[in-house]
Amino acid sequence: MTFCVSSTTHLAQYLKPSNFNTSLNIIMKRKISVIDSVIENLINIKKTKTIGIKANIYNCDFRDILKKIEINKTTLIYADPPYFKEHYSRYYHVLDTFLFYDYPELTYNPRLKTTTTGRYRNNRIVSDFGKKSLVKKAFFDLVQTVKLYGNKLAISYANTSILDIDYFDELKTEFKIPMKIYDFELMHSGQGQPRNKIVKEYLIIYG
Ligand SMILES: C[S@@+](CC[C@H](N)C(=O)[O-])C[C@H]1O[C@@H](n2cnc3c(N)ncnc32)[C@H](O)[C@@H]1O
């Protein structure tokens, strides 16, 4: 999708033919066949070597997955949740639409009486991990597994994410479970912005 879409890297800001070069860029993008690209990539996925382990893939909220799978002391849960609310608006809505194939209504700004500048599907999926009001409860439910089943839990996060790292300490105290935080510096892409950012990435291990 990122190759075929005629937008900047964050997939909501569509390119406008404001000068010769951007017009040319749009023409080149529109020339790409979405169907051919999908077929080509599916063939490439098929060529990928697997390591022979049977895997189950679920398409649902993590809380439903936790109810479906057996979790015990030998289980390691690894969560790489969205770090920002943008992950579920700017990046994934095109993928959702590609899968749903449903010609959605666009988001509308009632004050300006027009579609929003960013092109998004209406009622797009927003993860609890991307909502300030729900992110703490989402991590609470995830970390609670360690208390309930004795499993290990590893979480990837960053110091620029919507939730402050101190909350993971609070959960450790609340559930009285062991926790370690490892940190290291990484370069995050500016996602369409002209700058890349150095951020601190965390690997938080409970249990
Ligand atoms: C940063 S991506 C993970 C990327 C992955 N680790 C990789 O390397 O390809 C975040 C993932 O979390 C999933 N996700 C977000 N909210 C979720 C939720 N409430 N329940 C289950 N999965 C969720 C998204 O579908 C997305 O695949």
Atom 27 of ligand 1, nearest CA residue: 81
Q: What is the C-alpha separation between 97 and 103, in angstroms, rounded?
A: 7
Q: From the CA of 171, how far away is ligand 1's center (Å)?
A: 21
Is pTM beyond 0.95? Reply is no
- 169 ligand 1 Cβ < 6 A: no
Q: Which atom of ligand 1 is nearest to the CA of 61?
A: 20
For helices 135-149 and 166-175, what crossing angle results, to 10°?
Answer: 40
Determine the pLDDT at residue 105: 93
Q: From the CA of 123, how far away is ligand 1's center (Å)?
A: 19
- 130 ligand 1 Cβ < 6 A: no
The pair of structure tokens assigned to 40 is: 């080509």
The pair of structure tokens assigned to 58 is: 């679920």
Determine the pLDDT at residue 52: 80
The pair of structure tokens assigned to 154 is: 């590893």
| DSSP assignment string, 15-51 | ----SHHHHHHHHHHHHS-HHHHHHHHHHHHHHSPP-
- The 10 Å Cβ neighbour count of residue 104 is 15
- 61 ligand 1 Cβ < 6 A: yes
CB within 8 Å of 201: residues ≥ 6 apart: 156, 157, 158, 183, 184, 185, 186
Determine the pLDDT at residue 40: 95
Give 10-residue mean pLDDT values along the chain (207 residues).
Answer: 79 87 92 93 89 86 95 97 74 83 92 89 86 96 97 96 95 98 84 70 97
- The backbone torsions φ and ψ at residue 91, rounded to the nearest 5 degrees and listed phi first, read -100, -40
The tally of CA atoms less than 13 A away on the side-chain side of residue 12 is 21
Testing ligand 1's pocket by substitution, the residue of 62, 131, 157 carrying the most ligand atoms inside 8 A of its CB is 62
Atom 18 of ligand 1, nearest CA residue: 61
Q: Which atom of ligand 1 is nearest to the CA of 83?
A: 1
Q: What is the C-alpha separation between 138 and 10, in angstroms, rounded?
A: 25
Determine the pLDDT at residue 53: 82
- 62 ligand 1 Cβ < 6 A: yes
- 83 ligand 1 Cβ < 6 A: no
